[in-house]
């Protein structure tokens, strides 16, 4: 009984931005839970390397290279994936970027680049997948938000704004699609060591501050996000909708 609640066999999952980092860890976790996984990124060679890495450990995956910040490409990709492989039951909107700089110095192009990837990309991917899920009467969308959906720090204005938007988008889509059998939730990671956070990992002052600021006293490991993702992708969460689940070592629970 309990095992069936978390069983993803027979489900197909598309994870955006999954050639490395959090996306690749989530793709691996979903595949280990039984899902047929589709990897996405913009660079076909890096995507193929990620696929081969999963295959080397006995996990099959397909690839779909496209840019999530291009709404037409997202729609064409969903159309192509479903025609080639079958329905996408689970969408993990993970692709994201940051550009750290003081708000007074953010060029217009940078502002739009971050918002277009982190917020427009999440919306148009959700719209492309959601239109098909709503028609079928079931589906799971998991948006990767951030502790910066709620808390800002200097140098993160475009990023924090985009992640705050992801939080409200998650609620707005839940309000519309819950009656149609689709669950839309978010995971809000704390600080995890990846390429995106490398400048912060290498900054000894930042890391010392983070260890003091996080009740768990350390950086997160990407595998520690898998449990939340499998839960939100699986039947176990069928009545969980519009929520943002923090996986942050307690960072947002304590001052
Ligand atoms: N690392 C953290 O501490 C942390 C914390 C909270 C939230 N997040 C979020 O998790 C997600 C993954 O971040 P990560 O830390 O693994 O970073 P990462 O830079 O290692 O990985 C991001 C991936 O997204 C891909 N990507 C970027 N733009 C894309 C686009 N337009 N189309 C397709 N793919 C694209 C990149 O190529 C890369 O593979 C992001 O949304 C990020 O904001 C990360
Ligand atoms: O500059 C920063 O503080 C980081 O880039 C964060 O934005 C992390 O990437 C993460 O999203 C925190 O949860």
CA of 197 to the centre of ligand 2 (A): 7
Complex prediction ipTM: 0.98
**Confidence (pLDDT) at 2:** 81
User: What are 52-79's pLDDT values in tens digits?
Assistant: 999 999 999 999 999 999 999 999 999 9
Instruction: Give the integer Cα–Cα distance in Å for 191 and 40.
Output: 23
Candidates 42, 44, 152, 194: which one to mutate for ligand 1, based on the most atoms within 8 Å of Cβ? 194
CA 110 to each of CA 99, 105, 194, 246: distance values in angstroms, whole numbers, following the listed order: 7, 10, 21, 27
**CB-ligand 2 contact for 146 (6 Å cutoff):** yes
Asked if pLDDT for residue 96 goes beyond 90, the answer is yes
User: What are 202-237's pLDDT values in tens digits?
Assistant: 999 999 999 999 999 999 999 999 999 999 999 999
**CB-ligand 2 contact for 40 (6 Å cutoff):** no
User: What are 17-26's pLDDT values in tens digits?
Assistant: 999 999 999 9
Catalytic residues: 159
Candidates 22, 247, 249: which one to mutate for ligand 1, based on the most atoms within 8 Å of Cβ? 22
Instruction: Give the integer Cα–Cα distance in Å for 146 and 93.
Output: 12
Ligand located closest to 121 CA:
1
User: What are 134-167's pLDDT values in tens digits?
Assistant: 999 999 999 999 999 999 999 999 999 999 999 9
Q: Which two tokens stand for residue 60?
A: 């099959």
Ligand located closest to 92 CA:
1
**CB-ligand 2 contact for 98 (6 Å cutoff):** yes
| Three-state SS letters, the chain | CHHHHCCCCCCEEEECCCCCHHHHHHHHHHHHCCCEEEEEECCHHHHHHHHHHHHHCCCCEEEEECCCCCHHHHHHHHHHHHHHCCCCCEEEECCCCCCCCCHHHCCHHHHHHHHHHHHHHHHHHHHHHHHHHHHHCCEEEEEECCHHHCCCCCCCHHHHHHHHHHHHHHHHHHHHHHHHCEEEEEEEECCECCCCCHHHHCCHHHHHHHHHHCCCCCCECHHHHHHHHHHHHCHHHCCCCCCEEEECCCHHHCC
Q: Which atom of ligand 1 is nearest to the CA of 67?
A: 32
**CB-ligand 2 contact for 147 (6 Å cutoff):** yes
Instruction: Give the integer Cα–Cα distance in Å for 122 and 145.
Output: 10
User: What are 175-209's pLDDT values in tens digits?
Assistant: 999 999 999 999 999 999 999 999 999 999 999 99
Nearest CA to ligand 1 atom 40: 96
User: Nearest 5°: CA angle at 6, between 40 and 90?
Assistant: 30
CA of 120 to the centre of ligand 1 (A): 14
**Among 76, 26, 80, 73, which Cα is nearest to 233's?**
26
The correct answer on CATH 4.10.520.10 for the domain covering 2-194+223-246 is no
Higher pLDDT, 2 or 252: 252
């Amino acid at each position: 009984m309990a095992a069936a609640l978390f069983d993803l066999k027979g489900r197909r999952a598309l994870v955006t931005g999954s050639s490395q980092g959090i996306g690749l860890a989530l793709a691996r976790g979903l595949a280990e839970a039984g899902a047929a996984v589709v990897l996405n990124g913009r660079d076909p060679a890096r995507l193929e390397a990620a696929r081969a890495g999963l295959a080397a450990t006995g996990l099959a995956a397909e690839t779909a290279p496209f840019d999530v910040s291009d709404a037409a490409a997202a729609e064409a990709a969903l159309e192509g994936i479903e025609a080639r492989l079958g329905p996408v039951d689970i969408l993990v909107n993970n692709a994201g970027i940051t550009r750290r700089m003081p708000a007074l110095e953010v060029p217009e192009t940078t502002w739009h680049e971050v918002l277009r990837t982190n917020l427009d990309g999440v919306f148009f991917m959700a719209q492309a997948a959601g239109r098909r899920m709503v028609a079928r009467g079931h589906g799971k969308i998991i948006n990767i938000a951030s502790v910066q959906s709620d808390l800002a720090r200097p140098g993160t204005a475009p990023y924090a704004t985009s992640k705050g938007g992801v939080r409200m988008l998650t609620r707005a889509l839940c309000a519309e699609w819950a009656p149609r059998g689709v669950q839309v939730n978010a995971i809000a990671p704390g600080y995890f060591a990846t390429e995106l956070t490398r400048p912060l990992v290498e900054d000894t002052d930042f890391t010392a501050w983070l260890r003091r600021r996080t009740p768990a006293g350390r950086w997160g490991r990407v595998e520690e996000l898998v449990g939340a993702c499998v839960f939100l992708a699986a039947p176990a969460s069928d009545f969980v909708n519009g929520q943002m689940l923090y996986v942050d070592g307690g960072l947002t629970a304590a001052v």
